[in-house]
Amino acid sequence: MAYTINIGSIRCHILSDGLHYVDGGGFFGLIPRALWEGVITPDAQNLVPCDTRSLLVESDAGLILVDVGNGDKLPEKVRQRLGLGDRQRRLIGELARVGYSPEDIDIVLFTHFHGDHIGGATQWDTPDGAAGPAIATFPRARYIGQRIDLADASFPNERTAATYITDNFRPLLEQGKLEIVDGPQRLAAGVRTDLAPGHTAAIQTVWVEDGGESLLFLTDAASWAVHLQRLAWVPAFDIMPIQSMETKRRLAHEAMERDALLVFQHDPQIVTARLSPGKRGPEIHAIISEPAHFDPSR
């Protein structure tokens, strides 16, 4: 479901590439299931639903699309394992619901290079959509990613190799469409990025600020609301878990200082929220929420 939010004079749309399913231990790491199933109830295979949200910002620099979901290039075996089923081009449909097409996008920002965030950046250039040469899904767009994360994606180790798919980004490099940056960036008036290391070495969050209002797109710096509320709840996916805790501490402080609207990329229940100080850490106040469910078509 798409949601439209105004931050001052800047219009933002929260879009979804749909649910996929991940072992609960991946999102909750060392935390025992007896604790985390109070947040989300897994199925018989210990899988939990995971949304895949993107942020579309109508800025003075044009349309900025932050992350682009899993896309359609995954092999059938992987699609079935993730519970993606036969759904195709979900994010493109969400774009259409808010009045846009892939050709309208001016900037695609990669928060990091994991497949569930940039899989939709390219598509197969074949008549029937079968595997073949990959081309940019957003033909006019300037794609932007961090240099350190590109290096890690290009030369993964045994732990990280499964999280990167070169067809998601290498064709963009070869076609001269991927701009590599170092550190925080100003994308447009009121739209900026900031580094939030932990999940990866150079993952970047996105701030939208205008008219005294703020929105923070947290990406996997805090995938679910509970990750920001309970700093010790660090996903097994994070390659720098201690750094993740410190990053979350800083982000929570900044969010409360600015009374920022937080957008959670993977939380199947809390889409947006605000924080307030609590006795045991930040308190979550959901603004937009959805019922957790398992897609019967997966």
Tokens of 73: 């290039």
Q: How sure is the predictor about 296, in pLDDT bands with cuts at 50, 70 and 90? A: low
Q: How far is the C-alpha of 269 from the C-alpha of 100, rounded, in Å?
A: 26
Tokens of 213: 């209002």
CB-based contacts of 122, cutoff 8 Å, min separation 6: 71, 73, 134, 135, 136, 137, 167, 168, 169, 171, 172
Task: Count Cα atoms within 13 angstroms, Cβ side, for 45.
Answer: 10
79 pLDDT more than 90: no
Entry pTM:
0.95
DSSP 200: S
Residue type, 199: H
Distances from the Cα of 251 to the Cα of 207, 242, 296, angstroms: 11, 14, 36
Q: How far apart are the first and last CA of the chain?
A: 18
Answer whether 50's CB lies under 8 Å from 298's CB: no
Q: How far is the C-alpha of 76 from the C-alpha of 87, rounded, in Å?
A: 11
129 pLDDT more than 80: no
Q: Are strands 53-59 and 204-210 parallel, antiparallel or unpaired?
A: unpaired
Answer whether 199's CB lies under 8 Å from 241's CB: no
How would CATH label the architecture of 3-289?
4-Layer Sandwich (3.60)
Using one digit for the tens of pLDDT, what is the confidence trace for 19-36? Answer: 999 999 999 999 999 999
Q: How far is the C-alpha of 164 from the C-alpha of 172, rounded, in Å?
A: 15
Q: How far is the C-alpha of 190 from the C-alpha of 194, rounded, in Å?
A: 13
CB-based contacts of 115, cutoff 8 Å, min separation 6: 70, 74, 163, 164, 165, 168
Q: How sure is the predictor about 82, in pLDDT bands with cuts at 50, 70 and 90? A: confident
Q: Over the chain, what is the mean pLDDT?
A: 95
Using one digit for the tens of pLDDT, what is the confidence trace for 102-125? Answer: 999 999 999 999 999 999 999 988
Q: To the nearest 10°, the Cα dihedral for 30, 35, 40, 43? A: 80
Q: How sure is the predictor about 78, in pLDDT bands with cuts at 50, 70 and 90? A: confident
- Summarize the confidence of residues 71-78 as an average pLDDT: 88
Residue 99, Ramachandran bin (φ over 0: left; ψ between -120 and 50: alpha; else beta)? left
pLDDT at 88: 65
Using one digit for the tens of pLDDT, what is the confidence trace for 39-72? Answer: 999 999 999 999 999 999 999 999 999 999 999 8
- Summarize the confidence of residues 234-238 as an average pLDDT: 98
- Summarize the confidence of residues 181-200 as an average pLDDT: 99
